[in-house]
Amino acid sequence: MNKNLLLSFLLLFLIGITAQAQEALFGAQQITSPEIHEDSRVTFRMFAPNAEKVQVTGDFLPTVKMETPMGEMDGPGSADLTKDDKGIWSFTTESLDPELYSYSFIVDGLKITDPNNPFLIRDVASVTNVFLVGEGQAALYKVKDVPHGSVTRRWYDSPGLGMDRRLTVYTPPGYEQSKEKFPVLYLLHGAGGDEEAWIALGRTAQIMDNLIAQGKAKPMIVVMPNGNVIQDAAPGEGSEGMYKPAFMIPKTMDGTYEANFMDIVKFIESNYQVKSDKTNRAIAGLSMGGYHTMHISRFYPDTFDYMGLFSAAIMPREDATNSVYSDIEGTLKTQMDNGYKLYWIAIGKTDFLYDANKEYRAKLDAMGMPYEYIESEGGHIWRNWRVYLTQFAPLLFQ
């Protein structure tokens, strides 16, 4: 091949590669979405010139009733975007309260993520975009210029479940350089979640960093296990590879997790600088995690001094036969007689588990079992559970 022809070919080839790279970098939609204004209004935009209808749906909008695997529940509403003469659709909210919000677009009936927002969170099998507005409560969810803790994923041996399993651990600022021993909060996720849920959706690391920096919470280790006993790790992170996460999987809430929970405690107390006594152990969880908290803490009635039930599922199914669920009232009485520092219950007024929690509190009242109760607005949502963590953590290990 002629030398000049070869050089020309190479030049054209490189130009093609460069153009393709530039298209990947700069050929995307060059618009800002979401745009957060100084007055806390938020504008969403999408370039879709051929679309007939574009909507945004998210937890910043009024709720609507939706059918879910747990029955009818409140879900996010939707709002229509308006198209301009350039094919850009847009919608601007009213001023929003400080909060971490999630949203998606609906384009001609198809729900998609915002191509201009790279910040995504997975909740069970749903992936949505997120954004933060304002200070106030939302300030606790932001990364601030304060000392930061560390987040690690660890694998532990669970003899009771016959496998190595993965969990997420937050250690407080300065842990690696310290010879001090720390108290531990075991923080449990809900149905469909895994060891990634609290650290991502719950903003646990940001909350703990900020509360500790403000002197509102004591430095502590936070352990976030996987409550699905047939999994060794979150979907995509374990030996089963990449598969679609499911809401209710086999052996969910059948007593197996509760019966083998001490495998986790033993691993933490053998591998971390922790105070391994009842006074320095706390356990809390949301929904299914609240269910696990209630049953683990009474099944091991002299193990935890602090319990937090966030929007908790309460009683086992009628067909549950695991010995963990035998003599519930008797083990609760033993837990009460052993003494503890805090039994904390929180739930939203419109939560579908509200009546179950009301009945449970009546049971505790009849037993004379002391507890603290928080009732918030809203339903079975992460917005509440993040707030509950910010309220519960400062009460621990005082």
Per CATH, the number for 145-395 is 3.40.50.1820
Name the least confident of 135-139, 299-303, 339-343, 368-372: 135-139
Question: Which residues lie across from 74 on neighbouring strands?
Answer: 65
CATH architecture group of domain 35-134: Sandwich (2.60)
Residue 321: per-residue pLDDT: 83
User: Can you give the pTM of this predicted structure?
Assistant: 0.89
Residue 140: per-residue pLDDT: 97
Q: Is the pLDDT of residue 210 over 70?
A: yes
- Which is higher by pLDDT, 334 or 22? 334
| Per-residue pLDDT tens over the stretch 49-89 | 999 999 999 999 987 766 655 556 567 889 999 999 999 99
- DSSP assignment letter at 109: T
Q: Domain limits of the chain?
A: 35-134, 145-395
Give dist(CA 152, CA 186) in Å, integer.
Answer: 15
Q: Is the pLDDT of residue 2 over 80?
A: no
Residue 74: per-residue pLDDT: 67
Average pLDDT, the chain: 91
Q: Is the pLDDT of residue 239 over 80?
A: yes
- Which is higher by pLDDT, 250 or 366? 366
Is the CB of residue 217 less than 8 Å from the CB of residue 396? yes
Q: Which long-range contacts (CB under 8 A, 24 or more apart) does 116-123 make?
A: 116/28, 116/29, 116/31, 116/32, 116/33, 116/45, 116/46, 117/33, 117/34, 121/200, 121/201, 122/196, 122/200, 122/245, 123/192, 123/193, 123/197, 123/201, 123/382
Same fold, 35-134 and 145-395: no
Average pLDDT over residues 269-290: 97
Q: Is the pLDDT of residue 381 over 70?
A: yes
Residue 5: per-residue pLDDT: 55
